Amino acid sequence: MQNQNKRPDSMERITTAALAEKFIDEQILSIKAQVGDGKVLLALSGGVDSSVVAALLIKAIGKQLTCVHVNHGLMRKGESEQVIEVFKNQLGANLIYVDATDRFLDLLEGVSDPEQKRKIIGGEFIKVFDEEARKLEGISFLAQGTIYPDILESDGIKAHHNVGGLPQKMEFELVEPIKLLFKDEVRVVGHALGLPDSMVNRQPFPGPGLGVRCPGAITRDRLLTLRESDAILREEFENAGLAGKVWQFFTVVPDFRSTGIRNGKRVFDRIVIIRAVNTVDAMSATVPEIEWAVLKKITDRILNEVPGAGRVLYDLSPKEPATIEYE
């Protein structure tokens, strides 16, 4: 029998809208055949993979799908709002939005060990998702945004980093419509499904979210500095035409302060680090030369607009020896 987890040699690479349409039509039929009139549950993070799976399933089975979006309080600015806008308001999905910010941040209070932080975030995510799933009745399928590299590189980046995956103890049959696709193909399919560019071209975002960019014990005020500075960075990279050219970029706010001076008074402000990298496979990475004027504009805006930010640095370290993230 054919191995369902192996991409057939004959499978054409999806590079055009027409090929994506064909894939979508085939998947709609196959999802309908698998699910029948059953109910499907999906954890929708807003990342490319889960968003494409959601859009496919909505097309195939509409309200038989329930999406759960857990906001762990470590999302980038505007991301949860975009998930609600696109899936609930525009596509009319059954979407359960859980704002679990306080649960996560309370548990993380005072925890500075990076592994411990990841464990707490992953464990709590499963708990929240599990609680929501139990409130629903008659779910027999769990949809997942597994893609081909996840199957191929079972010891690759995602497996190495990911914070937990989904509840193992719940016995659902899996629905994995994009498991034979590579990332670039997922994006072509996402466009064909009409998802917004900002969602389809979204950068990789770690499961523990901004938590790994807030090194040491996370505090709410440091998280605010992080989220606001990150939003400015994204806006200015977009304005400078860099958003599609630089592979990944974000800010980091370390857990120590530095001396500054405001209105003649000594202050101890936060430090914001800009991290931008280019890479093919995230195993190694280089730092792009960003125009001085762009860096200066971002610096000025962060210093003027972000509460508590008093110093801005640009990280010049390639991978290796530095990793892309800080924790």
Do 312 and 230 contact (CB within 8 A), yes or no?
A: no
Amino acid residing at 13: R
- Copy the structure tokens of residue 170: 């719940």
Handedness of CA 195, 226, 240, 321 (dihedral sign): negative
Alpha carbon distance 274, 236 (integer Å): 12
Q: How far is the CB of 141 from ligand XMP (least distance, A)?
A: 23
Q: Of 22, 77, 257, 319, which one interacts with ligand XMP (CB under 6 A)?
A: 319
Residue 287 near ligand XMP by CB under 6 A? no
Choose between 269 and 325: whose C-beta lies nearer to ligand XMP. Answer: 325
Choose between 187 and 301: whose C-beta lies nearer to ligand XMP. Answer: 187
- Tell me the number of residues near ligand XMP by CB under 6 A: 16
Q: How far is the CB of 121 from ligand XMP (least distance, A)?
A: 9
Reported as type and span, the H/E element at residue 313 is strand 309-314
Q: Of 19, 84, 151, 282, which one interacts with ligand XMP (CB under 6 A)?
A: 282
Choose between 157 and 294: whose C-beta lies nearer to ligand XMP. Answer: 157
Please give the residues from 42 up to 71 whose contact with ligand XMP meets the rule CB under 6 A.
none
Choose between 97 and 247: whose C-beta lies nearer to ligand XMP. Answer: 247
Choose between 65 and 212: whose C-beta lies nearer to ligand XMP. Answer: 212
First-residue to last-residue Cα distance in the chain: 43
Q: Choose the binding region for ligand XMP from 13-21, 74-82, 159-167, 291-299 (rule: CB under 6 A).
A: 159-167
Choose between 150 and 236: whose C-beta lies nearer to ligand XMP. Answer: 150
Please give the residues from 181 up to 210 whose contact with ligand XMP meets the rule CB under 6 A.
204, 206-208
Distance of alpha carbon 220 from its chain centroid, rounded? Answer: 20
Alpha carbon distance 193, 310 (integer Å): 43
Q: Choose the binding region for ligand XMP from 21-29, 96-104, 228-236, 318-326 (rule: CB under 6 A).
A: 318-326
- State the pairing for strand pair 39-43/265-277: unpaired
Residue 278 near ligand XMP by CB under 6 A? no
Handedness of CA 84, 86, 91, 93 (dihedral sign): negative
- Copy the structure tokens of residue 298: 């971002």
Residue with tokens 């411990």: 116
Q: What share of the chain is helix, strand, coil (3-state, %, to 5)?
A: 45, 20, 40
Residue 132 near ligand XMP by CB under 6 A? no
Q: Which residues bind ligand XMP (CB under 6 A)?
A: 157-158, 161-163, 204, 206-208, 212, 248, 282, 319, 323-325
